[in-house]
Amino acid sequence: MSSSQQDTAVLKKPVEEKKEKMISGSEAVMLSLLEEGVDTIFGYPGGAIMPIYDSLYDFSEKIKHILVRHEQGGIHAAQGFARSSGKVGVVFATSGPGATNLVTGLADALIDSTPVVCVTGQVFAHLLGTDAFQETDVINITTPVTKWNYQVTDASEICSVLAKAFYIAKSGRPGPVLIDITKNAQIQKIKYDGYSKCDHIRSYRPKPKIRNEYIVQAAELINKAERPFVIFGQGIILGKAENEFKAFLEKSGIPAAWTILGLSALPTDHPLNVGMLGMHGNYGPNVLTNECDVLIAIGMRFDDRVTGRLDKYAKQAKVVHLDIDPAEIDKNVKSTVPVWGDCKETLPMLTKLMEKRDHSKWVSRFKEYMKEEVQLVINDELNPSTEKMTMGEVINILNELTKGDAVIVTDVGQHQMVACRYARFTQSKSNITSGGLGTMGFALPAAIGAKFGAPDRTVVAIIGDGGFQMTLQELGTIMQSGVDVKILILNNEFLGMVRQWQQLFHDKRYSFVDITSPDFVMIAKGYGIDGQRVSDRTNLKAALKTMLDHKGSYLLEVMVGKENNVFPMVPQGCSVAEIRLK
């Protein structure tokens, strides 16, 4: 196959450079991607997208195509790429099963606001609705899980539709876009007279107009506050407003806590960084949410995993909510002052009006709670006296070795919460996790994408024994592409997070959480990836160092205590103030 492909490539005429020329719809796709600055595509071919792949063959010097092992892996990789690079991730998939395999990733990207453009092939336009081979109603299946989608049946639309797709995916609150292109449109010849980027759509308002009076009102509230508290999410990262955010904090002196998607927007050791919010967040931020007098929420959406029981959430506080998406304001928590707009712009406006304040007494309350948490939870997690290792001690040594400079990609479960709690970060866009959807199987492919998005950085995927088995076929992608991803499996021989809930809330009835695993190290070897398993603490540090120093990908499996739990915990249905330390 490959040699015959080469033959046809030789026979093909070189692409002409003239301004106005006849091209196929598929070439239009490729030219559009180049114009949008795309250099990496994650994809998987099939019947209905073959003309596009045929065209891609001619562009393979300009655009890198990463052949994944499953389309879900493709879109998760594109998500990882987008989140480590700040660019739009691009995915190719075929019709029918190829497209339906994207659905989980689309839902994940939508809820976590990740800019992704998926191009799917579709059957010929005249076959739509006939139950043709590999025909599915992709547009309707994906409508609830895309920011926008569109089916192209005429090649003359391709360039303008893709321009629109990229604009929508990355502007405002970012999200996934899917473009379904019928095969006839891929083949159809059209006149190409250049590409123009999209910079507006009359019905679409990515950035709400900033209302100055709200900025003024917010500033008044905050200046008067005795116990102001900032909680922030991914909006800071998506808005590229890390510096503006830091300036705001430092002038106002307000302590700040993060959601897991906001993690890494503020360096871990910043004096005003008081830790993590939510179900497995830190003690102080949760308890003091219900004691602050002004709660300033920035680029976050009050997810139930952050708020716990809503009718007991920050009832005493005035709420200032900064968000680019007006639909988020007053959705879960009623705001006293809504500050619509891009925080890159609203934060500096607010900072200007801030009185320089020092809230150190208030900040010290967080530190006191932290002391208690260290004593009762963190010490045992990071320096355990148990025979079995804990997840926390693994992360702790990892921090020591990476100095907080690595990109950490996590899957979903206990290891995710432990990694988010204890991993340290010095720079933004460094914590990549499936937050809103909680998609097991996310980490391995997302880490692959993250490495392509940030090739100069060390990328460590931290994954549970359960989640790894959901997308471990992507080891094939690592093998073939040669991408350098460090895989750290924290193996507790259980579907740990579910087991923890069963232990705490279902009388220890361990219903189907006892998961057996293959020999992960041997599997990695099968893919040509080096690795080792560590069961003994004395070898842990050396093993982590070997992993990090290894040239190329490496798999390290660490056996941890089977029935360790993640604490603190706000049990479902409880208020954040009712957080449990054990």
Ligand X SMILES: Cc1ncc(C[n+]2csc(CCOP(=O)(O)OP(=O)(O)O)c2C)c(N)n1
Q: Which two tokens stand for residue 17?
A: 């450079």
Q: Which two tokens stand for residue 73?
A: 């892996």
- 375 counts as catalytic: no
Give the C-alpha distances (Å, rounded to integers) separating 348 from 229, 270, 353, 464, 569.
Answer: 18, 19, 9, 41, 35
Under the binding rule (CB under 6 A), the answer on residue 279 touching ligand X is: no
Q: Which of 47-55, 124-132, 150-158, 463-471 is the region at the interface with ligand X (rule: CB under 6 A)?
A: 463-471
CB of 156 to another protein, least distance (A): 9
Cα distance between residue 570 and residue 563, in whole Å: 19
Query: In a 3-state reduction of DSSP, which class is residue 253?
Result: coil
From the candidates 71, 135, 242, 557, which is the catalytic residue? 71
149 or 273: whose CB is closer to another protein?
Answer: 149
Q: Which partner from the list ligand X, another protein, none does 559 bind, CB cut-off 5 to 8 Å by kind? A: none
Site string for another protein, 199-218 (x = CB under 8 A): -xxxxxxxxxx-x-------
CB of 460 to ligand X, least distance (A): 15
| Dihedral (CA of 350, 354, 360, 361) sign | negative
103 or 448: whose CB is closer to another protein?
Answer: 103
215 or 440: whose CB is closer to ligand X?
Answer: 440
- Rule CB under 6 A: choose which of 105, 228, 496, 568 binds ligand X: 496
Give the C-alpha distances (Å, rounded to integers) separating 151 from 62, 65, 89, 154, 161.
Answer: 26, 23, 19, 9, 9
Q: Which of 56-64, 122-130, 145-153, 438-446 is the region at the interface with ligand X (rule: CB under 6 A)?
A: 438-446
Q: Which residues inside 322-381 make contact with another protein, applying CB under 8 A? A: 325-327, 330-331, 340-341
Residue 358 CB-density burial (10 A; 0-12 exposed, 13-18 middle, 19+ buried): exposed
Under the binding rule (CB under 6 A), the answer on residue 465 touching ligand X is: yes
CB 399 within 8 A of CB 420: no
Query: In a 3-state reduction of DSSP, which class is residue 111?
Result: helix
- 183 counts as catalytic: yes
- 81 counts as catalytic: no
CB of 82 to ligand X, least distance (A): 20
Site string for another protein, 112-151 (x = CB under 8 A): ---------------------------xx--xx--xxxxx
264 or 491: whose CB is closer to ligand X?
Answer: 491
Q: Which partner from the list another protein, ligand X, none does 221 bind, CB cut-off 5 to 8 Å by kind? A: none
CB 464 within 8 A of CB 413: yes
CB of 391 to ligand X, least distance (A): 7
Q: Which partner from the list ligand X, another protein, none does 140 bind, CB cut-off 5 to 8 Å by kind? A: another protein
Query: In a 3-state reduction of DSSP, which class is residue 523?
Result: helix
CB of 347 to another protein, least distance (A): 17
Please count the residues of this chain forming the interface with ligand X, following the rule CB under 6 A. Answer: 20
CB of 205 to another protein, least distance (A): 5
Site string for ligand X, 69-98 (x = CB under 6 A): ------------------------------
Closest by CA position to 444, among listed 74, 177, 42, 44: 74
The CA-based angle 516-72-455, given to 5 degrees, is: 95
DSSP 164-204: HHHHHHHSSS--EEEEEEEHHHHH-EEEE---------TT-
CB of 103 to another protein, least distance (A): 15
Cα distance between residue 498 and residue 466, in whole Å: 11
- 497 counts as catalytic: yes
The label of the residue with tokens 């004096």 reads: 271
281 or 338: whose CB is closer to ligand X?
Answer: 281
- Rule CB under 6 A: choose which of 228, 235, 413, 435 binds ligand X: 413
DSSP state of 37: T
- Rule CB under 6 A: choose which of 249, 497, 544, 576 binds ligand X: 497
CB of 16 to another protein, least distance (A): 26
DSSP 119-168: EEEE--GGGTTTT-TT---HHHHHGGG-SEEEEE-SGGGHHHHHHHHHHH
Q: Which of 169-177, 314-322, 487-495, 549-557 is the region at the interface with ligand X (rule: CB under 6 A)?
A: 487-495
Q: Which partner from the list ligand X, another protein, none does 494 bind, CB cut-off 5 to 8 Å by kind? A: ligand X
From the candidates 5, 133, 400, 525, which is the catalytic residue? 133
Residues in the chain, how many?
A: 582
Q: Which residues inside 158-197 make contact with another protein, applying CB under 8 A? A: 160-161, 164, 168
Q: Which partner from the list another protein, ligand X, none does 208 bind, CB cut-off 5 to 8 Å by kind? A: another protein
Q: Which partner from the list ligand X, another protein, none does 438 bind, CB cut-off 5 to 8 Å by kind? A: ligand X
Q: Which partner from the list another protein, ligand X, none does 79 bind, CB cut-off 5 to 8 Å by kind? A: none
397: left (phi over 0), alpha (psi -120 to 50) or beta: alpha
69 or 246: whose CB is closer to ligand X?
Answer: 69
From the candidates 183, 246, 451, 486, which is the catalytic residue? 183
Q: Which partner from the list another protein, ligand X, none does 467 bind, CB cut-off 5 to 8 Å by kind? A: ligand X
Give the C-alpha distances (Å, rounded to integers) separating 19 from 192, 193, 195, 286.
Answer: 8, 6, 10, 60
Q: Which helix (H) or strand (E) holds 379?
A: helix 379-382
Site string for another protein, 48-87 (x = CB under 8 A): ----------------------------------------
- 133 counts as catalytic: yes
CB 441 within 8 A of CB 430: no
Cα distance between residue 193 and residue 214, in whole Å: 46
Query: In a 3-state reduction of DSSP, which class is residue 363?
Result: helix
Closest by CA position to 497, among listed 396, 387, 350, 391: 391
Strands 486-491 and 459-464: parallel
Largest Cα span, the chain = 76
From the candidates 300, 349, 391, 497, which is the catalytic residue? 497
Residues of this chain that bind another protein (CB under 8 A):
139-140, 143-144, 147-151, 157, 160-161, 164, 168, 198, 200-209, 211, 325-327, 330-331, 340-341
Which residues are identified as catalytic?
71, 133-134, 183, 497
Interface positions with ligand X (CB under 6 A): 411-415, 438-441, 464-467, 490, 492, 494-498
